[in-house]
Structure 1
Amino acid sequence: MRRPERTERLALPGVLTPRQAAATAAGIAAVQCPDGAIPWFAGHHLDPWDHVEAAMALDTAGEHERAAAAYAWLAAHQNADGSWYAAYADGAAARPTDRGKESNFCAYPAVGVLHHYLATGDEEFRRRMWPMVAAAIEFTLGLQQDGGQLGWRREPDGTAVPDALLTGSASVHQALRCALALAELERAPQPDWELAAGRLGHAVRAHPERFLDKSRYSMDWYYPVLAGAVRGPAATARLAARWDDFAVPGLGVRCVAGNPWVTGGESAELALALWAAGQDARAVEVLRWIGHLRAEDGLYWTGYVYADDAVWPAELTTWTAGAVLLAVAALTGDEPTRAVFGGERLPTGLDPDPGCCLGRETA
């Protein structure tokens, strides 16, 4: 087990003790491959987004060398066009199993790179990762549509899919803001990224008709808040509007409205969104609900079908554990995590709707 003193600041009553947080970080570390790759679980595939989520969690627990190895894996496996494939097989060969390229998967490393830099102050790491981030953002913006939204995928044959997903586009908005922060540190102005971020944020906030209707999924409910596109009173109203559709008190958050299935990842991400909206007490409450998903090794089951009293699927996923650690880190004052998810100091881009408020609600 990792040393609990590294995780003392992750103590959150009723959610995690320092020793439990250390066990969760150790559970993620045990799945990480020697080359730095972090699959969903041993023997399963890796996707770039969840790989980064797990790496960020390692940084919250003081496992900076392991997190750096995860980003080095990304740099070593980036395609010539700046992308990554959507999925890779677990194992030394890192064989692609889905050669599609998803826009939010390719953008999200910018969030992790900034998070790691803020956690470590490692200037050499930041400079080494900058070309990787810049190339990934350029690839991603090649999928931006006229309305600002992001086409969600480029097929293996290179065909761009114009359909946009609200959750994915919101995630890219957060990544663009982190990439702009890295550009400022690099003293490499990116006016095109600023325009793209503004257009994308406006689409997420004001134009639901530009996205495929996935409103059955809880991620489309909370992710615009989590990713920083919606804040202030609008965030409070958005989270309140569908609370009863997705929240199952004492158990967690439904992945899909109407289904008797709560999931740990969505619950922890909702907690992070609640924190970002200034609702700390409710965020802690949600994290306490999912204590029943915690396994003996410190990892978390992906979900629970309460109608059948059954864990399903029977997977202990690194990204679920990672989401829990990130939510706890934000709530307990971890500054790097608060910086990338709070967003107060991140560049906002050139917003075509200047009346929109991005400030964090504190009341």
Structure 2
Amino acid sequence: MKKKPIILGIESSCDETAVSIIKNRDVLSNIIIHQYIHKKYGGVVPELASRLHDRNIITAVNQAIDSAKIKKNQIDAVSFTLGPGLIGSLLVGASFAKSFSMGLEIPLLTVNHVQAHILVHFIKNANINNSYPKFPFLGLVISGGHTQIVKVNDFFQMEILGSTLDDSIGDTLDKVARILGFHYPGGPMIELFSKNGNCNKFVFSKPSVNGLNFSFSGFKSHVLQFVRKELKKNSFFIKQNLSDICASIQRIIAEILLEKVQKATLKTGIYRVALAGGVSANCEIRRMFISFAKENKKWEIFIPKKKYTTDNGAMIAITGLLKYEKNLFDSIHVSPYSKFKTF
């Protein structure tokens, strides 16, 4: 009987030191060490992030191995995020992975961070359907750094159909949250306060962008201008209307995303849609996509369970496993990259 490989996955593209071990698409362990210190700076400080990765990575790897109840010499390959991301943070993960690979004399597997968010759906029972999406399908990647619609033909055959022309959806939510007085990260706070709000109370303009691309800078400016105008009339406007403002913002954001994906389904004739990335944890976005899919029987929707939405080692490990099965190994001489490249 053929041995089922055990893959170690290391994710260090931003401010989470994440390590996971996968066997046969089952997650044996999934460790995340968060860097809460960035909250006081209003955003991730790259140099500080890389220092903390350097401090945390050995701990995270040891915890992952212990939690998986295996020995390190049972690991068949190590996968790690090559990019995109913060270059200093990526270098920490890459250096450790290379050393681990050389020390155990096991193969090295590099992973594209955005691709891994999509392939998280191929972890066993990783999404709300507890099933794998069939190819081809459309991936909507919505996170702090990325907003993209991707046509997924196979595990490693992906084509970008649309991207943001300016801010990512996650960055937009954080910046809008700052306007409302929330600290970083602000996106989750908007979601929290929206739960008791009227999503139809305020209307914000939707950016007009041709094709399948996105733009959020105009939306962000509109919210800022609206709030400033209302504060001139009533200095307590935000405090008195916070829940309704948050709910209205979330509704517009969800509508923008859904409308673009609808266009993509009509253009491609593909009605299987998989959400991915940290912002796919947002309850209003999830609700709107699920509701639309129920009303439109052509649609089949896949949404990751919340523990697999944010940056995590499991998405790196599953991508590594899929590459391992296809013998797509990498050289020890590869170098991390900060900006997104083609898949």
Structure-1-length-normalised TM-score:
0.26
Larger helix share, 1 or 2: 1
Larger strand share, 1 or 2: 2
Higher relative contact order (CA 8 A, sep 6+): 2
Tell which structure's C-alpha radius of gyration is larger: 2
